[in-house]
């Protein structure tokens, strides 16, 4: 089986609806299937037949979803017609749309495909149906341990599961194997190794840096903060020792170790990637889509060997290997005021079953994840499959740091951390300010501590 | 520091061999710097919108990259571009109309019906200009939601039209006051009604003022960001100004799609620049009409 | 207006809508004519501001579903919140610095536009461009212009001086950028106003001064400035008030980064209100903004009073 890596149509994921300064797009993994914005407010008018359900998906997922339905012949077998409704890729729009519909006792979708940010807001507004009794019994064995842990935090409310994810994207450790081999240097395996890479690679005369990232405010910085804090063994939203260690480490990487390019603080991913393609970066953290980007037509001239963007396990920090990276995902949920709830439940059971998961993964990356069945049925020579397998086998995937008011909380983190990194505040002030502001937000949940 | 007479004087002095021409050089140098500072960002925007992303990220910079329309076609494919243009147009036109109508009526009243305290009332109206728009968006959000005017062009029109009214009233008052009352008086004696006075007499005579304020308000509405950003949720009422922020905050594998951002920028700027090219004097008259008598 | 009704020989067939005698009908007409404008202002400005003040004493939060009276709690939370304190301090710096610069640069441009040279029409026309451009577009354009790798300005600076400018990771550089772009955007508008004012100054005054031996600078300082001083003060006050409400520029250019060094109150209000739906807290921030506006207004009154005394 080969996963199609079609990146020719580079739509972009638009994250602002009624204005979001801190869009969590980077945090929600831009992914291989990014979406454009054509959203029809309420889709096709619902037919009177009981056996038609509306499934809300992104524009970019449409073809894969359709392929899944066609290849399995679902509608014929079950008698349920599945109407694919394009949802907006902007969470505010969806939130507003669903809220007003639910208040009126209906819903634009029976089943919805949604991201982590909507998971927190919509679930806590009480819009989802618990799906535990719809899940196949073997699902908890099929999901990888990391996926299960993640589900317990991000897809569970009051002990009830409300979402099962279908993709599984994590920040990957990319490195210039050709450079490392040429210098005879081993890939950094620990934080100390990383800090020492500055002496090996950073060269001001050529403008090369050991590493670079996209650290600008607006949900970019927060990804890296979460990544490093998880490696330090904690949750940044707890503002504990792990976060303190992480901040100090990042600061040193930029200011004393000469390892990370300080200009990263104003980078979004384009500058980061552009610098990598300009041979100015020895290794970096980046989402899976980068692999597709490197192999795309735009970089054909540059992509002479796989060694230019090789994948390794992320460096291990004080937190141990279990928190080397984390995954973010999109998944399926059932809305409680769905017009055709019974049919939707039937569909849902089918959708999350093992066989369907395997069939779906064959349609493209949007449905590729780390479920054992999926990995077993995937082409082991494919770079993405290899990466997910490698990280899963090593147990390197921790739970994405969680906060019930995720978007607001990440803005607080970013504001303060950014001030610290640009020498506007010292570490202790930064930490106490962050802690105070997060406390003012309201409760950090018990789930948050479970993830550390 | 140099007015017409100065130059003439200097020329005379020059002929008498009494002064140097450096003043003239300095003047043209200042003009050049001024023109550069104003035009450079415009050039930058235009260059970036008609070039591919790859051509923009070259080192050294390519000042005249190969011309391409691809950004426009990309935009049209990826966002409801024409819808946004339509919304911006509709929003600007309706706001202008609402503002002019409300302002014209009020301006007539302030100009023609004077009584002790009418000046104070006008002053109070103008004082509302000092209230920051940003301070009203929270209650306005709830008000519009209650009236089911959220995410509608109509709701936006009401809000911005209201915001533009005080300045428009101020300017129109001075325009109307310049119209000699005798004309109206004669019409009254011939038995004209108030609406007839408005339409037959005042409108034609104050047309320059109305055109001016129409232009200024159209430009203000076209450029407005805060209200559509706060109150529009879907493409039903989002305008170009909102779309440019979406594209900026949006995300492509190439990151900030500057070429697309600048393309929307050009789309927003081009009509306005064309407008002011043709009506510079008129606009200036309007802008100064309130401040300078 | 002549009172023709006293002459019985003239057949008066006029509808008396502007009756000189019937005061009540005049008032009624006045009310009807100004009603649309006033109702609009009441509904979208006066009433919302009053609401804002009321809401500032609550913890209204759409996402958390809270809505109860909490007194001054919102205000008490502000000094402890660096985002707020940072925004307030930069708002004040930004407002003062940009207004002063706007006045000075605006005056300079006005001088240029007042001079007689070929191409003056062109100068006066392009002068309107910064005013006409949407502020958000100006913000994005300059963000791109100042990009440290592919932006025109840092590239030229590097070519001429070798210095590598990375503007947006440096708080002070970012602040300067915000202020200067604001001046780029608004000084031309100042210039237009000042120009109109300067054109009203009688030329004989200049002539007389020249005859007395005053040079160009002295003529400017002793004639032009005093003559348009009321205008300068007025525009200064307007500029102060308008920049207090400034949102678009910072939203486009820096989004308040790095840290919160370039965050202004309006940005905070927007973020808290529209992004996070924390309406109570956003309202309290708005009240702080209103207080700042009020302070400027009081300064304005005092300045006007002093100017009146002088003239």
Per-residue model confidence as pLDDT tens for chain A (452 residues): 222 222 222 222 222 222 222 222 233 333 322 333 333 334 444 444 558 899 999 888 899 999 999 999 998 888 899 999 888 777 777 877 787 788 778 888 999 999 998 898 888 888 999 999 999 999 999 999 999 999 999 999 999 999 999 999 999 999 999 999 999 999 999 999 999 999 999 998 898 999 999 998 887 899 999 999 999 999 999 999 999 999 999 999 999 999 999 999 988 888 899 899 999 999 999 999 899 889 988 889 999 999 999 999 999 999 998 889 999 999 999 999 998 999 999 999 999 999 999 999 999 889 999 999 999 999 999 999 999 999 999 999 999 999 988 888 999 999 999 999 999 899 999 999 999 889 887 643 333 333 33
Residues of chain B with C-beta less than 8 angstroms from the C-beta of A18: 229-233
A182 in the same domain as A161: no
A104 in the same domain as A54: yes
In a domain, A5, yes or no: no
d(CA A452, CA A229): 9
d(CA A409, CA A441): 8
From the candidates A21, A33, A37, A88, which should be mutated to test the interface with B, based on the most B CB atoms within 10 A? A37
According to the model, what pLDDT value does residue C109 have? 93
Residues of chain A with C-beta less than 8 angstroms from the C-beta of B256: 268, 270
C303 in the same domain as C181: yes
Nearest-neighbour CA in chain A from B243: distance (Å): 9
List of chains touching C (3+ CB pairs within 8 A): A, B
Max intra-chain CA distance, chain C: 92
Q: How many CB atoms lie within 10 A of CB A90?
A: 26
At residue B182's C-alpha, the angle toward residues B179 and B186, to 5°, is: 125
CB contact under 8 A, C136 and B115: no
C280 in the same domain as C210: yes
d(CA A92, CA A97): 8
C156 in the same domain as C48: no
Q: What is the CATH number of the domain that holds A182?
A: 3.40.190.10
Residues of chain C with C-beta less than 8 angstroms from the C-beta of B277: 125
CB contact under 8 A, B252 and A270: yes
C205 in the same domain as C143: yes
CB contact under 8 A, B253 and A269: yes
* Mean of pLDDT over chain B: 85
CB C57 within 8 Å of CB C70 = yes
d(CA A182, CA C157): 36
d(CA C48, CA C41): 10
d(CA A87, CA A98): 11
At residue A200's C-alpha, the angle toward residues A198 and A204, to 5°, is: 65
Give the structural domain span for C21. Answer: 4-55
Does position B32 have pLDDT exceeding 70, yes or no?
A: yes
Number of separate domains in chain C: 2
In a domain, A108, yes or no: yes
CB C292 within 8 Å of CB C244 = yes
CB contact under 8 A, A214 and B78: no
CB A110 within 8 Å of CB A51 = no
Task: Kindly write down the DSSP assignment for every residue of A90-106, as one continuous string.
Answer: -HHHHHHHHHHHHHTT-
In a domain, A59, yes or no: yes
CB A276 within 8 Å of CB A178 = no
According to the model, what pLDDT value does residue A7 have? 24
A255 in the same domain as A186: yes
Chain centre to alpha carbon of residue A427 = 28
According to the model, what pLDDT value does residue B247 have? 83
CB C55 within 8 Å of CB B139 = yes
From the candidates A19, A20, A21, A122, which should be mutated to test the interface with C, based on the most C CB atoms within 10 A? A21
Residues 198-237 of B with CB under 8 A from C: 219, 222-226, 229-230
Task: Give the nearest partner residue to B250 out of A12, A273, A290, using CB atoms.
Answer: A12
In a domain, C49, yes or no: yes
CB contact under 8 A, C255 and A21: yes
Q: Which of B226, B214, B273, B265 is nearest to C132 (CA)?
A: B273
Give the structural domain span for A145. Answer: 11-170+328-378
Residues of chain A with C-beta less than 8 angstroms from the C-beta of C261: 419, 422, 424
Residues of chain C with C-beta less than 8 angstroms from the C-beta of A442: 64
In a domain, C69, yes or no: no
Please name the residues in contact with B275: beta carbons below 8 A apart, sequence gap of 6 or more.
B215, B218, B219, C132
B147-174, pLDDT tens digit by residue? 888 889 999 999 999 999 999 998 899 8
d(CA B266, CA B260): 10
Q: What percent of chain B has pLDDT over 70?
A: 89
d(CA B146, CA B113): 37
List of chains touching A (3+ CB pairs within 8 A): B, C
CB contact under 8 A, B131 and C290: yes
Task: Kindly write down the DSSP assignment for every residue of A132-143, as one continuous string.
Answer: GGGS-TTHHHHS
A187 in the same domain as A164: no
In a domain, C61, yes or no: no
Is B180 in CB contact (< 8 Å) with chain C? no
Residues of chain A with C-beta less than 8 angstroms from the C-beta of B75: none
Strands A160-161 and A310-312: unpaired
CB B82 within 8 Å of CB B76 = yes
CA C100 vs CA C88, C103, C105: distances in Å: 18, 5, 9
According to the model, what pLDDT value does residue B279 have? 86
Residues of chain B with C-beta less than 8 angstroms from the C-beta of C123: 31, 34-35
In a domain, A2, yes or no: no
C227 in the same domain as C107: yes
According to the model, what pLDDT value does residue C299 have? 87
Q: Which of B240, A181, A2 is nearest to C140 (CA)?
A: B240
Q: Which of B76, B119, B136, B101 is nearest to B264 (CA)?
A: B76
This model of the complex carries an ipTM of 0.84
**For tokens 């080192």, what's the residue?**
B59
**For tokens 């009276």, what's the residue?**
C69
At residue B250 the predicted structure's pLDDT band, cuts being 50, 70 and 90, is low
Q: Which of A171, A116, A115, A167 is nearest to A287 (CA)?
A: A171
- Chain A residues whose C-beta sits inside 8 Å of any chain C C-beta: 18-22, 121, 216-218, 262-263, 265-266, 271, 274, 405, 407-408, 411-412, 415-416, 418-422, 424-425, 429, 433, 436-437, 440, 442
d(CA A34, CA A14): 9
d(CA A167, CA A173): 19
Does position B14 have pLDDT exceeding 70, yes or no?
A: no
A130 in the same domain as A102: yes
Strands A81-86 and A52-57: parallel
A77 in the same domain as A24: yes
A410 in the same domain as A299: yes
At residue B220 the predicted structure's pLDDT band, cuts being 50, 70 and 90, is very high
Q: Which of A430, A434, A428 is nearest to A408 (CA)?
A: A434
Q: What is the CATH number of the domain that holds C190?
A: 1.10.3720.10
Task: Number of helices (H) and strands (E) in chain B: give both, helices first.
Answer: 15, 0
CB contact under 8 A, A418 and C166: no
**Strand (E) positions, A216-309?**
281-286
Better-scored residue on pLDDT, B15 or C240: C240
Is C247 in CB contact (< 8 Å) with chain B? yes
Please name the residues in contact with A235: beta carbons below 8 A apart, sequence gap of 6 or more.
A229, A242, A243, A401, A402, A448, A449, A451, A452
C113 in the same domain as C41: no
According to the model, what pLDDT value does residue B230 have? 87
For the CA atoms of A301, A307, A309, A313, what is the dihedral angle to 10 degrees? 170
Q: pTM for this one? A: 0.82
DSSP state of B255: B
Residues 67-86 of C with CB under 8 A from B: none
Please name every residue paired with A310 in a beta bridge, in sequence order, or none if there are none.
A175
A94 in the same domain as A208: no
Half-sphere CA count of B222, side-chain side, radius 13 A:
25
Task: Kindly write down the DSSP assignment for every residue of chain C, as one continuous string.
Answer: ---GGG-TTS------SS-SS-HHHHHHHHHHHHHHHHHHHIIIIIHHHHHHHHHTTB--BTTTTB--B-TTHHHHHSTT-HHHHHHHHHHHHHHHHHHHHHHHHHHHHHHHHHS--TTHHHHHHHTTHHHHS-HHHHHHHHHHHT-TTT-HHHHHHHHHH-----GGGSHHHHHHHHHHHHHHHHHHHHHHHHHHHHHTS-HHHHHHHHHTT--HHHHIIIIIHHHHHHHHHHHHHHHHHHHHT--HHHHHHTTT-STTTT--HHHHHHIIIIIT--HHHHHHHHHHHHHHHHHHHHHHHHHHHHHHHH-
Q: Which two tokens stand for residue B13?
A: 């002095």
Number of separate domains in chain A: 2
The residues spanned by each domain of chain B are 4-49, 79-289
In a domain, A6, yes or no: no
Q: Which of C128, C234, C39, C36 is nearest to B212 (CA)?
A: C128
A256 in the same domain as A144: no
The pLDDT tens digits along chain C (311 residues) read 444 444 444 434 444 455 555 778 888 889 999 999 999 999 999 999 999 999 999 988 877 778 889 989 899 989 888 889 999 999 999 999 999 999 999 999 998 998 888 888 899 989 999 999 999 999 999 999 998 888 999 999 999 998 889 999 899 999 999 999 999 999 999 999 898 888 888 888 888 888 888 887 888 888 888 888 888 888 898 899 999 999 999 999 998 888 889 999 999 999 888 888 888 999 999 999 999 999 998 988 888 777 665 43
Residues of chain C with C-beta less than 8 angstroms from the C-beta of A218: 255
C27 in the same domain as C124: no
Ramachandran area for residue B114 (φ above 0: left; ψ -120 to 50: alpha; else beta): beta
A291 in the same domain as A195: yes
Fold designation for B79-289: MetI-like fold (1.10.3720)
In a domain, A287, yes or no: yes
C202 in the same domain as C101: yes
According to the model, what pLDDT value does residue A25 have? 28
In a domain, C71, yes or no: no
In a domain, C164, yes or no: yes
C275 in the same domain as C162: yes
């Amino acid at each position: 089986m080969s996963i199609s890596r079609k990146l020719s149509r580079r739509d972009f994921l638009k994250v602002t609806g009624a204005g979001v300064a801190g869009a969590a797009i980077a945090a929600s993994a831009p992914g291989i299937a990014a979406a454009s914005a054509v959203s029809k407010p309420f889709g096709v008018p619902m037919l009177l037949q009981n056996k038609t359900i509306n499934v809300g998906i992104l524009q970019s997922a449409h073809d894969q979803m359709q392929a899944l339905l066609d290849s399995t012949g679902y509608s014929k077998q079950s008698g349920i017609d599945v109407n694919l409704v394009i949802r907006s890729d902007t969470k505010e729009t969806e939130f507003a749309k669903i809220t007003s519909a639910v208040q009126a006792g209906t819903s634009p979708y029976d089943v919805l495909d949604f991201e982590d940010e909507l998971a927190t807001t919509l679930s806590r507004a009480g819009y989802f149906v618990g799906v535990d009794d719809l899940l196949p019994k073997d699902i908890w064995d099929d999901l990888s341990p990391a996926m299960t842990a993640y589900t317990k935090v991000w897809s569970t409310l009051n002990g009830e599961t409300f979402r099962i994810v279908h993709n599984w994207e994590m920040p990957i450790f990319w490195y210039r194997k050709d450079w490392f081999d040429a210098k005879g240097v081993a890939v950094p395996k620990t934080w100390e190794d990383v800090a020492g890479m500055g002496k090996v690679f950073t060269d001001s005369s050529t403008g090369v840096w050991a590493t670079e990232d996209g650290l600008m405010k607006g949900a970019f910085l927060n990804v890296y903060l979460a990544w490093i804090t998880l490696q330090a063994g904690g949750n940044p939203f707890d503002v504990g020792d792990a976060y303190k260690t992480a901040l100090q480490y990042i600061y040193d990487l930029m200011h004393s170790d000469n390892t990370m390019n300080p200009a990263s603080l104003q980078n979004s991913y384009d500058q980061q990637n552009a610098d990598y393609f300009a041979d100015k970066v020895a290794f970096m953290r980046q989402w899976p889509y980068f692999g597709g980007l490197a192999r795309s037509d735009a970089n054909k001239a540059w992509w002479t060997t796989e060694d230019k963007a090789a994948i390794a396990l992320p460096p291990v920090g004080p937190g141990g290997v279990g928190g080397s990276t984390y995954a973010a995902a999109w998944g399926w949920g059932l809305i409680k005021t769905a017009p055709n709830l019974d049919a939707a439940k039937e569909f849902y059971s089918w959708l999350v079953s093992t066989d369907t998961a395997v069939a779906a993964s064959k349609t493209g990356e949007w449905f590729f994840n780390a479920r054992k069945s999926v990995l077993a049925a995937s082409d082991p020579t494919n770079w993405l499959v290899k990466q997910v397998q490698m990280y899963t086998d090593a147990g390197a995937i921790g739970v994405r740091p969680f906060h019930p008011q995720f978007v607001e909380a990440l803005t607080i983190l970013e504001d303060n951390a950014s001030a610290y990194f640009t020498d506007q505040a010292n570490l202790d002030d930064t930490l106490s300010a962050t802690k105070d502001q997060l406390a003012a937000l309201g409760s950090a949940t018990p789930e948050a501590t479970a993830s550390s | 520091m140099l007015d017409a007479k100065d130059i003439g004087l200097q020329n005379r002095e020059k002929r008498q061999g009494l002064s140097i021409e450096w003043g003239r050089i300095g003047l043209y140098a200042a003009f050049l710097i001024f023109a550069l500072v104003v035009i450079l960002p415009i050039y930058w925007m235009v260059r970036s919108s008609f070039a591919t992303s790859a051509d923009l990220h070259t080192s050294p910079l390519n000042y005249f990259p190969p011309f391409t329309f691809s950004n426009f076609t990309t935009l049209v494919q990826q966002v409801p571009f024409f819808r946004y243009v339509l919304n911006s147009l509709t929003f600007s036109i309706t706001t202008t109309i609402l503002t002019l109508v409300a302002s014209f009526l009020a301006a007539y009243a302030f100009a023609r019906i004077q009584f002790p305290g009418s000046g104070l009332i006008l002053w109070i109206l103008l004082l509302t200009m000092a209230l920051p728009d940003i301070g009203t968006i929270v209650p306005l959000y709830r008000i519009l939601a209650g009236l089911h005017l959220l995410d509608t062009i109509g709701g936006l029109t009401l809000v911005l039209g209201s915001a533009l009214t005080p300045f428009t009233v101020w300017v129109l008052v001075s325009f109307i006051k310049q119209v000699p009352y005798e004309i109206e008086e004669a019409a009254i004696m011939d038995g004209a009604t108030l609406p007839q006075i408005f339409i037959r007499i005042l409108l034609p005579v104050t047309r320059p003022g109305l055109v001016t304020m129409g232009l200024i308000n159209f430009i203000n509405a076209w450029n407005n960001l805060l209200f559509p950003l706060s109150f529009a949720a879907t493409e039903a009422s989002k305008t170009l100004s909102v779309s440019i922020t979406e594209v900026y905050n949006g995300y492509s594998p190439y990151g900030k799609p500057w070429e697309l951002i600048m393309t929307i920028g050009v789309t927003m700027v081009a009509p306005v620049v064309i407008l002011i090219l043709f009506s510079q004097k008129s606009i200036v008259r309007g802008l100064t009409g309130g401040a300078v008598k | 207006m002549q009172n023709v009704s006293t002459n019985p020989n003239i057949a008066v067939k006029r509808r008396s809508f502007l009756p000189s005698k019937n005061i009540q009908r005049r008032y009624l007409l006045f009310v009807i004519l100004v009603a649309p404008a006033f109702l609009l202002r009441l509904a979208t400005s006066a009433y919302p501001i009053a609401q804002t003040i009321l809401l500032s004493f609550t913890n209204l939060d759409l996402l958390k579903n809270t809505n109860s009276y909490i007194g001054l709690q919102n205000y008490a939370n502000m000094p402890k919140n660096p985002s707020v304190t940072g925004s307030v301090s930069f708002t004040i710096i930004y407002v003062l610095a940009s207004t002063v610069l706007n006045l000075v640069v605006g005056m300079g441009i006005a001088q240029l536009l007042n001079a007689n040279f070929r191409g003056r029409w062109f100068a006066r026309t392009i002068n309107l461009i910064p005013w006409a451009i949407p502020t958000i577009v100006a913000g994005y354009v300059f963000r791109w212009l100042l990009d440290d790798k592919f932006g025109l300005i840092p590239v030229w600076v590097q070519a001429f001086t070798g210095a590598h400018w990375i503007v947006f990771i440096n708080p002070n550089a970012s602040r300067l950028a915000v202020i200067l772009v604001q001046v780029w955007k608004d000084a031309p508008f100042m210039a237009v106003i000042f120009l109109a004012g300067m054109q009203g100054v009688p030329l004989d005054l200049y002539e007389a001064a020249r005859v007395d031996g005053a040079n160009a600078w002295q003529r400017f300082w002793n004639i032009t400035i005093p003559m348009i001083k009321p205008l300068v003060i007025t525009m200064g006050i307007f500029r102060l008030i308008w920049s207090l409400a400034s949102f678009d520029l910072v939203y486009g250019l820096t989004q308040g980064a790095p840290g919160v060094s370039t965050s202004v109150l309006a940005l905070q209000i927007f973020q808290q209100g529209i992004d996070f739906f924390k309406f109570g807290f956003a309202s309290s921030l708005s009240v702080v903004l209103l207080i700042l506006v009020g302070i400027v207004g009081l300064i304005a009154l005092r300045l006007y009073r002093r100017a009146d005394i002088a003239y």
